[in-house]
Structure 1
Amino acid sequence: MTVSTAREVESHKELERIEVRSLIHLAGETISQFWPMQTFIHHNPLHGLEHLNIHQAIAQAEKFLGGRGYLPNEEYRNLYRQGRILDEAITDAVMPFSENRYVTIGTRNISHIEVLRTILIHGSGTIPHEISDAVFDSLRRDSQVEDFFTRLQSGGILKDADLSLRQQTDQARHDVVNQYTLAAWCDRTFETSLQQQINDELIKWCAGFLDQGHAPWSMPMREKTFYGSWKALAQKEGTGFLLSIPDWKLKLQQLPDRPEDAVLACLQDLDLPQSLWSNVFTLHLAQLPGWTGFLKWRADQVDHEWQKAFPVDLVQYMAVRLFYERELVSMVCHQQLEIPGTYSAITSSLERFPFGFGLYKAFRTGNLAQKMLPALDEGMFTVTPLPLQTLDGWGREADGTWGTIQRERTAKGHALMLHHLARSLGIALTDLTACPPEILETLLGWTTNFPESKHGPLWLQAFEMSYMKRFVNNLAPNLALVREWDSKQEKPEFSRPPAQAMFCIDVRSEGFRRHLEEVGGNETFGFAGFFGVPICFQGFGSEQETDQCPVLLKPKHRVREIPRAYQGKAAEQYLQRQNLAKTGHALLHDLKENVITPYVMVEAIGWFFGFRLFGQTIAPAWYRTFTSWVKEWFAIPIGTTLTVDKLSHEEAEEMVAAEHRATIHRLLIERYGRMGLAVSHDQVDRLRKQALYQAGSDSEDEETLSRLLGWNAAVHEQFLAELRQNHGIHQRAVSRRMHRITQVGFTPKEQAYFVETALRILGFTQGFSRLILICAHGSVSENNPYESALDCGACGGNEGYSNARAFVEMANKPYVRELLAQKGIHIPADTYFLPGQHNTTTDEVELFDLEDVPATHRKDLLRLERDLEEAGRRNSRERLSRLPDEQGMPSLNRSLRLAKRRSMDWSQVRPEWGLSRHTAFIVGRRLLTRGINLEGRTFLHSYDYLQDPTGKYLEIIMTAPLIVGNWINMEHYFSTVDPEVYGAGSKVYHNVVGRIGVMFGSQSDMRIGLPVQTVYDGPTPYHEPMRLMAIIEAPLERISAIIARHDLLQKLMGNQWVNLVALDPITMEFFMYHSSDDWRIIL
């Protein structure tokens, strides 16, 4: 082969690799990204399908994932019987499917829409074929039913369908890699377990490779990538032998080094047409959507420390999966059909023996009538290999009989449907029997063309519209107040409230805000819980950084928590004790996971864990009090502040230089002891510059170092080289360090910008009180892997106190207020901002940085603390009354104790309801909702359209907080309608895996979504699955213009993922969005 030919071949291979990567990436659309558990991010499980209409996306996801997209129809019927779904909403839902036709039965004229309504409410009466004979025979004892069935047959209503065993084979041939992977098709056909075997292998390898420090023995060779480490290690373990794969070690050795080439080789060996590759990839990724969803997320995090250390992506996953499918399918096809395990061989075999395979499938699915079995040798269906040629002969002979039986079953099923319809409509069966054939044919057509599989979207629409109409009617009293306020020519003078508070828009803040306003006449606002300040935060003593903002954003600013200036000694002691605690914890973990030491530990310190076990189980409140006292005694109290101010370039350079000098000084002392200590500051700095700028040393330097340390020129140069190579004292490292340092904090203009933007979004530009609380939120619970799901979604699944503290520190700075005054926002000198955090589990509010509160505001602070405590008691009582295991309405004082106990109880599967049962997202002035009990079901975002004539700030709300609200809503929606596929199932079976998620028992798919205890109350859904109803108080044309500028909003609104409602501020009428030029009034 010539060089040019070799290049052409390699170029062609590279194009094939690119195609494979792009097809696998495209196939991953059906799989939604899954974030690690420690920062649980609510997301839409069908996020990759948002370019489709929601109902189309549900259908596609059902094909690949097998998940249900709606509640069972009977659940909706229960809601209808309870009055939660209105008759008029059902009529509106079925109207587009109805024709302007009616039939006359007896003395009644029955319209098409009435039939559709009846079928929706009472069901279609469809009976499975397997039991239709028994049901029909039991009804046929009634002479009227017998007459009715005779009438249907004699009138030719029940037309014969063309039913043949060959159709079973045609369906099976279509299902191969269109509906099922080759392995799954073999399982369904031959009752094998190939898919489970493949899944078990992939779970094992994924769990080992993706582990983030949870496993006591980490998987070796992970630096070789997922595919590389699997290829190397799979040759050393015996799974290939256990799976009976012939020559498995040799086959593993012969696999290509690149995963794309391995995928291509397997596709070629399976003889899969290129037109089917994308579908094949999607089917494989959908087998374990939890693991592949996490892989998809990891592959996108190119800067993530675990991804950089141990790379993995979906292509590597696919290479491993296709290897196992190729080998196992080949074995089964040889055993069962004596053919190669390829797509072409399988489909050819089905085409050669259509009746034989159809007969075999009918037998396997129980679709052979009992009276057919005596004429067949049942043993022929279970022998290996399968005698398809013999079965094909039998099938040709039995085809007519089978078709006749199927037609009889179909006819009986149709008769039962019409019988059920008559009863549901209240029609006498005798009247229906007397109808002309064309009327019966019409009724049968209306019924069969409206199967129950189509009812889900209509029930959902009726449920949502029923709730929507009640909700907007509930706001009616306040609309009159808004209209009255807006009509006043002169607004009354503003009276400063005792305090003002900015809460997160979270639905759990709604009740707390309402009670805080009632208690002391305080004023509250709602804003996304990161308060418009996207930061990367590192707490004092923590090695981890967290992105404190919605995942849609990437923070450009770093903020660190540092000790206050007077805390130097305390900070050192704090870190020493923290390191001691970490060392003890690591030692205990290593001892527990060791093979030998657990036996000794039980005898030595088992009593200690017994104390903890009994304390947390029997008396959790007392145990928490005791451990808190121990921690307070052991811990060093320390005051901290945040690095909100940005360093100048000169200050940053000096910081880097100081770090370098400290490193050099430490190295000299470690190696030369007192002699190293004698090296002067100036000499250390010269060494730094020599390493950094690679400048040569002068004779004076060499003489000094030779005298102090005994250096010669070679040792001197070796030390400089070590500084560059091992300690990062070179220009590139300095540039990186400078970049990170200059990301810490904000310039004065940036601080003023973030404060101004937040205040203008809220419409909060005047009327400031003396004390303004910026209240973040978080939660505390025991033994709860899903704890971060209860934290702030706008803060990336973290607590939000750091954002609140950063915002407050900015807003209190005099130079920031000067800049704000230049922009027209005049904050009085006596206004003080205060950070706090609402614990949504206990309804306690912790206030931060109290040492900074001026003495002049102490009385204001005491009043606010009293109001917060009382509001917490009231809100706690309201929340507890909704929990199924709390009986009755507790007293105000007892409610806080009960809420605290729930947060401490490690057996509590439901410390709080979290965001369950939410329904709406309101963007508008507080006057719209003040005083109305929204039952903790509504996100409330403050906004004043009068102060936003260009729509700039509404655009920010619609493209960030509203998107997060949609993700939260979709997570809860799908976790409720199918808790096993889209949810995480029951917490009872959960085990944490790899510190990244949970799975059932010791081996399963990683569980995505929310646990059933979060959205269900026993067998009944507690969360009512509806699409988010977003109500925006703003001119319709302003909202339409914003949607038109953003593709994401066009997808969500145009494809009906969100029900968007506008409140026209002029007419005070509600309109529902259908398109930018189609807003329909809600009556």
Structure 2
Amino acid sequence: ENSDKAANETSVVQAVFCIDVRSERYRRALEQAGERLGVSTQSKGFAGFFGVPLAVQMKEQDVPHAPGLLQPAYYVKAPERKHSVMSLLSNLFNTPVSMFSGVEALGLGKLKELLTGAPGKLATADDTAVSGSAIFQADGQASVESLVSLCEQALAGMQFDSFGKYVVLVGHGSHHSNNAQRAGLNCGACGGQSGALSARVLTRLLNDGEIRKHLVDRGVQIPADTRFYSALHETVTDKVVWLSDSVPDQVKCLFSNATEALTTSTNGSAKQLKKQANHWAELRPEWGLADNNVLFFGRASRLTSSETVGSNFLHDYCSERDPKGALLTQLLSAPGLVANWINWQYYCSVTDPKQLGSGNKLLHNRVANDIGIFEGNGGDLRQGLAWQSVHDGSDFVHRPVRLQVIIEADEATIQRALAGATAFNELFQQQWINLYRLNAGGELCQVTAE
């Protein structure tokens, strides 16, 4: 614990990642890049959407940027877009009645895209107003007091002992073309969206001078020279897209070094990965969250096995700072459930692909503005993941293992948290989730259901 605190106190760069098995790989690479470059670096894992339950208010409908079990409490307006001829044609292709007849009548209109490729667009929320004055609630513009409370709660969940000079909030999103299951490769905690908007909003609020003054009154001391920046980890190429302006070169260099190391370690090349992301006919743009099986709540330094890299969700948690287990209750109730959803999506798609998977991705046809997909042009709506998301052509890339939740806390704290996390506890009691406690000696002790 003391070494963790010392590292936190001397870190120049602190990066807080939205938890994801792909983010965990990047966290390791970033800290190793800091060692190579001589930049004191610390990474943290934090439950998705950065504690800001948002929705984008659009003319047609609100688009949530929060998991399905939470209702958005804050809203931002989407910019008005002019409808081009191509966007109108795209809507025509997706309407329930004319999707197939539209292809027959206007299919030649897609010829150019078929020949040249149509790169997908990575959602960075760069056209959405995210300043404090642009954030509102159901009953009107959000008050300064409510935004201060929002920031205070987010920082409490991140459990900072002290703040470095540069703090980067890193969301994640997947960049690829023509994929009906794109949402499954984006941020589960952001409702299948990218984490860009959540990171942008919280960064703007934490850099706001008035909000910082109110945080001081609540005992949250952020040094005057600490600046928050937002970024997006693009999970196909492992590149980081900067969402903030004037990011210091030292910070950019650190992340670039981590990206380069990750790309090299996967035996790929930047050019090849970019091609995968942009090719409209690519069946396997990335493996997504394949082989996820562990959710860890504890200090990152306790999880050192290389076998866990790329298969665990890692949320930093210090039980000494949560004596009543209130924070752990929130973690089990929100990211605990989301991780279980993701784990079972993969589990079911491997164990019963015929009934619970979605078949051959090559044959997918979107139905009625993406309410579902057909395998071919008829039959039942298919659910679950495509075969290509869990199988490489010769073997499965996902091991069907029920989610193993490991908590670094004492038994009493865990039991108090379980009592408050009703939905998670029900899954645990029915043995859909395996629960373990990590003790001070590094031993795993199974928590038994009552």
Give the one of 208, 216, 238 matched to 1:843.
238
Aligned to 2:37: none
Cα distance in structure 2, aligned partners of 1:938 and 1:814? 37
1:877 equivalenced with 2:264 (yes/no)? yes
Aligned to 1:834: 229
Cα deviation for residue 932 of structure 1 reads: 4.6
Distance of aligned partners of 1:997 and 1:1035 in 2 relative to their CA distance in 1, 3 Å threshold: same
Aligned to 1:866: 253
Residues 151-300 of structure 1 aligned to structure 2 (within 5 Å): none
- The 8 Å contact of residues 358 and 375 in structure 2, kept in 1 or not, is answered as no
Give the one of 115, 119, 123 matched to 1:614.
115
Cα deviation for residue 589 of structure 1 reads: 6.3
Identify which range, 784-793 or 497-506, moves more after superposition.
Answer: 497-506
The amino acid across from 1:545 in the alignment is D
1:585 equivalenced with 2:87 (yes/no)? yes
Cα distance in structure 2, aligned partners of 1:775 and 1:492? 23
Aligned to 1:154: none
Give the one of 518, 543, 558 matched to 2:75.
558
Distance of aligned partners of 1:902 and 1:587 in 2 relative to their CA distance in 1, 3 Å threshold: closer
Cα deviation for residue 778 of structure 1 reads: 0.8
More strand by share: 2
Distance of aligned partners of 1:599 and 1:838 in 2 relative to their CA distance in 1, 3 Å threshold: closer
Aligned to 2:63: 546
Aligned to 1:276: none
Cα distance in structure 2, aligned partners of 1:1002 and 1:994? 12
Cα deviation for residue 640 of structure 1 reads: 5.3
Cα distance in structure 2, aligned partners of 1:591 and 1:905? 20
1:444-500 per-position Cα deviation (integer Å, ceiling 9, x unaligned): xxxxxxxxxxxxxxxxxxxxxxxxxxxxxxxxxxxxxx5x759xxxx7596532311
The amino acid across from 1:749 in the alignment is E
- The 8 Å contact of residues 505 and 528 in structure 1, kept in 2 or not, is answered as yes
Aligned to 2:337: 963
- The 8 Å contact of residues 49 and 190 in structure 2, kept in 1 or not, is answered as yes
Aligned to 1:912: 286
Aligned to 1:748: 144
- The 8 Å contact of residues 561 and 642 in structure 1, kept in 2 or not, is answered as no
The amino acid across from 1:1000 in the alignment is E
Aligned to 1:533: 52
Cα distance in structure 2, aligned partners of 1:821 and 1:554? 29
Aligned-partner SS, 1:1016: coil
State the number of aligned residues.
Answer: 437
Aligned to 2:323: 949
Aligned to 2:157: 761
Aligned-partner SS, 1:531: helix
Cα distance in structure 2, aligned partners of 1:941 and 1:597? 47
More helix by share: 1
Superposition RMSD on alpha carbons, in Å? 3.0
Q: Give unpaired runs (5+ residues) of structure 2.
A: 35-39
Cα deviation for residue 832 of structure 1 reads: 0.8
The amino acid across from 1:972 in the alignment is Y
1:767-807 per-position Cα deviation (integer Å, ceiling 9, x unaligned): 21111111111111112100111010001111111111111
Aligned to 1:985: 359
Distance of aligned partners of 1:762 and 1:932 in 2 relative to their CA distance in 1, 3 Å threshold: farther
1:580-616 per-position Cα deviation (integer Å, ceiling 9, x unaligned): 52x44325765996999999978xxx5x744432223
Q: Give unpaired runs (5+ residues) of structure 1.
A: 1-481, 563-574, 617-622, 629-637, 649-738, 882-888, 1077-1083
- The 8 Å contact of residues 805 and 848 in structure 1, kept in 2 or not, is answered as yes
Distance of aligned partners of 1:580 and 1:761 in 2 relative to their CA distance in 1, 3 Å threshold: closer
Distance of aligned partners of 1:1045 and 1:640 in 2 relative to their CA distance in 1, 3 Å threshold: closer
- The 8 Å contact of residues 977 and 1025 in structure 1, kept in 2 or not, is answered as yes
Aligned to 2:215: 820
Residues 395-794 of structure 1 aligned to structure 2 (within 5 Å): 485=3, 495-520=9-34, 521-538=40-57, 543-560=60-77, 578-581=81-84, 583-586=85-88, 606=108, 609-616=110-117, 641-645=129-133, 740=138, 742=140, 744=141, 746-764=142-160, 766-794=161-189
Cα distance in structure 1, aligned partners of 2:381 and 2:229? 41
Give the one of 1019, 1025, 1034 matched to 2:400.
1025
Distance of aligned partners of 1:750 and 1:580 in 2 relative to their CA distance in 1, 3 Å threshold: closer
Cα distance in structure 1, aligned partners of 2:364 and 2:104? 26
Cα distance in structure 2, aligned partners of 1:828 and 1:498? 12
Give the one of 1011, 1022, 1036 matched to 2:411.
1036
Aligned to 1:319: none
The amino acid across from 2:130 in the alignment is L
Aligned-partner SS, 1:769: coil
Give the one of 189, 193, 203 matched to 1:808.
203
Cα deviation for residue 538 of structure 1 reads: 3.5
Cα distance in structure 1, aligned partners of 2:164 and 2:401? 39
Give the one of 282, 299, 303 matched to 1:929.
303
Percent identity between the two aligned chains: 32
Cα distance in structure 1, aligned partners of 2:225 and 2:28? 26
- The 8 Å contact of residues 761 and 942 in structure 1, kept in 2 or not, is answered as no
1:998 equivalenced with 2:373 (yes/no)? yes
Distance of aligned partners of 1:492 and 1:1024 in 2 relative to their CA distance in 1, 3 Å threshold: closer
The amino acid across from 2:407 in the alignment is I
Give the one of 430, 439, 445 matched to 1:1055.
430
Cα distance in structure 1, aligned partners of 2:422 and 2:227? 41
The amino acid across from 1:1038 in the alignment is T
The amino acid across from 1:986 in the alignment is N
1:362-402 per-position Cα deviation (integer Å, ceiling 9, x unaligned): xxxxxxxxxxxxxxxxxxxxxxxxxxxxxxxxxxxxxxxxx
Aligned-partner SS, 2:68: coil
Aligned-partner SS, 1:981: helix
Cα distance in structure 2, aligned partners of 1:600 and 1:945? 62
The amino acid across from 1:751 in the alignment is L
Cα distance in structure 2, aligned partners of 1:989 and 1:601? 20
Cα distance in structure 2, aligned partners of 1:493 and 1:611? 54
Distance of aligned partners of 1:754 and 1:580 in 2 relative to their CA distance in 1, 3 Å threshold: closer
TM-score (norm 2): 0.88
Cα distance in structure 1, aligned partners of 2:333 and 2:244? 32
- The 8 Å contact of residues 374 and 380 in structure 2, kept in 1 or not, is answered as yes
Aligned-partner SS, 1:923: strand
Cα distance in structure 1, aligned partners of 2:64 and 2:104? 42
Aligned to 2:313: 939
Residues 120-135 of structure 1 aligned to structure 2 (within 5 Å): none
- The 8 Å contact of residues 8 and 163 in structure 2, kept in 1 or not, is answered as no
- The 8 Å contact of residues 511 and 933 in structure 1, kept in 2 or not, is answered as no
Distance of aligned partners of 1:898 and 1:909 in 2 relative to their CA distance in 1, 3 Å threshold: same
TM-score (norm 1): 0.38
Cα distance in structure 2, aligned partners of 1:599 and 1:1073? 59
Larger Rg: 1
Aligned-partner SS, 1:642: coil
The amino acid across from 2:69 in the alignment is L
Cα distance in structure 2, aligned partners of 1:1025 and 1:1054? 20
- The 8 Å contact of residues 358 and 383 in structure 2, kept in 1 or not, is answered as yes
Cα distance in structure 1, aligned partners of 2:422 and 2:400? 26
1:656-707 per-position Cα deviation (integer Å, ceiling 9, x unaligned): xxxxxxxxxxxxxxxxxxxxxxxxxxxxxxxxxxxxxxxxxxxxxxxxxxxx
Cα deviation for residue 933 of structure 1 reads: 6.2
Cα distance in structure 2, aligned partners of 1:938 and 1:1059? 14
1:37-90 per-position Cα deviation (integer Å, ceiling 9, x unaligned): xxxxxxxxxxxxxxxxxxxxxxxxxxxxxxxxxxxxxxxxxxxxxxxxxxxxxx
Cα deviation for residue 938 of structure 1 reads: 0.6
